[in-house]
Structure 1
Amino acid sequence: MALAPALPRGRGRSVARRAVLVSAAVGLLAACGFRPMYGRGGAGGPALSSVAVAPIPERFGQLLRNALLDRLRPGPEPRHELQVSLSLLDQDLGVQRDDRATLANLQATATWRLLTRVDDGRQRLDAEGTARAAVTYNILDNQYATEASRRAAQRDMAEHLAADIETRLAALFAGRRGL
């Protein structure tokens, strides 16, 4: 019969001490009302699925709406409606001696409003906010490559704005259980 080698005295105690500290930390977080925002039983899940996203005009608005729909996953009969208005600013940077730009900065501002349907069919404003994002992309000699770079920048920016709005809505729903 072979015996397992014994751990050195310091290492075994260190592992046990860490396990006790982690258990205590988890217990303290649970006692203070901490709940994860995502995952099973998280604050954001069911509440976020009660939010419908209104159509947003323009191509970039479609990208943002699709990113929001992917994140919120509205159910069949949502109680809330998210309305978003966008503004885009495209600036040339990195100008060369011959006045050709080699770099561009794209900035977006999304102003959002969360409306809740009231029993009489009207809507009341529950929250509003602003999300901002900026992306830099290359202006290349090939016009097609430049447009592909710009579109990729827009997709990244739409994902960033959607993540910001989702986080704010999840925090709002977690803070106001009766919303």
Structure 2
Amino acid sequence: MSVLAALVLLGGCGFTPVYGPQGEALPLRGAVRATAPDTDLAYAFVRQIEDRLGKPAATRFDLDYSIATVEEGLAIDGSNNITRFSIEGVIDWTLAPAGSDAVALRGQETSFVSYSATGSTISTQESERDAQRRLATILADKVVTRLLADAPALTR
């Protein structure tokens, strides 16, 4: 019963899904082209942006970004070996109309992930690559959330 009441209240307040037929962010679908990636981390970032917003077909906006990471040891065992690492990531990004230098929106997002280094060398390297992919996904999702939140101002 409370779910039905919540739906009625949301309908009364003018709520519409972001990608719904009247959704404010619909014009961003397939309209944002991210700068071509030059690292595995950047590739994972761009892939997630395209998964969320669609591959650019009719580009209206250019997304430029710079990702910086810092890796630190988190846990040390009795033999003084690091058994867990943390990767902190910061992305500075700007969104501009396609072909323009005028910035429509800018931001900075941060997050972190960690991974275990207790297995073999190969499993530790794969754990690190997986952590970097997870970090890129988190950062991309944060950027997309900002774009969706500001979509009404961008698409007018």
On whether the aligned pair clears a TM of 0.5, the verdict is yes
Would the alpha carbon gap of residues 167 and 78 (structure 1) be closer, same or farther in structure 2, given more than 3 Å must change? same
Matched, 1:63 2:44: yes
Partner of 2:149: 171
Contact residue 64 and residue 162 of structure 1 kept, 8 A: yes
Distance 1:96 1:88 in 2: 24
Partner of 1:129: 107
Task: Please report how far the alpha carbon of residue 97 of structure 1 lies from its aligned counterpart in structure 2 after TM superposition.
Answer: 3.1
- Residue aligned with 1:124, SS: coil
Stretch of structure 1 that moved more, 86-95 or 71-80: 71-80
Report the residue type matching 2:65 in the other structure: V
CA deviation map 1:101-138 (0-9, x unaligned): 00100111111100113xxx533101101111211100
Any residues of structure 2 matched to 1:108-119 within 5 Å, and which? 108-117=89-98
Greater RCO structure (CA 8 Å; 6+ sep):
2
| Larger Rg, first or second structure (1 or 2) | 1
Contact residue 50 and residue 56 of structure 2 kept, 8 A: no
Distance 1:33 1:39 in 2: 13
Partner of 2:17: 36
Matched, 1:139 2:117: yes
Q: What is the Cα-based RMSD across aligned positions, in Å?
A: 2.2
Contact residue 56 and residue 84 of structure 1 kept, 8 A: no
Distance 1:122 1:156 in 2: 31
Matched, 1:91 2:72: yes
- Residue aligned with 2:92, SS: strand
TM-score by length of 1: 0.76
Contact residue 131 and residue 161 of structure 1 kept, 8 A: yes
Distance 2:154 2:8 in 1: 24
Matched, 1:22 2:12: no
Stretch of structure 1 that moved more, 59-68 or 34-43: 34-43
Report the residue type matching 1:152 in the other structure: D
Distance 2:119 2:57 in 1: 48
Q: Which of these residues, 34, 53, 67, is aligned with residue 53 of structure 1?
A: 34
In the comparison of the two structures, how many residue pairs are matched?
Answer: 156
Q: Name structure 1 gaps, 5 residues minimum.
A: 1-17
Q: Quick one: percent identity of the two aligned structures? A: 25
Report the residue type matching 1:49 in the other structure: G
Contact residue 94 and residue 101 of structure 1 kept, 8 A: yes
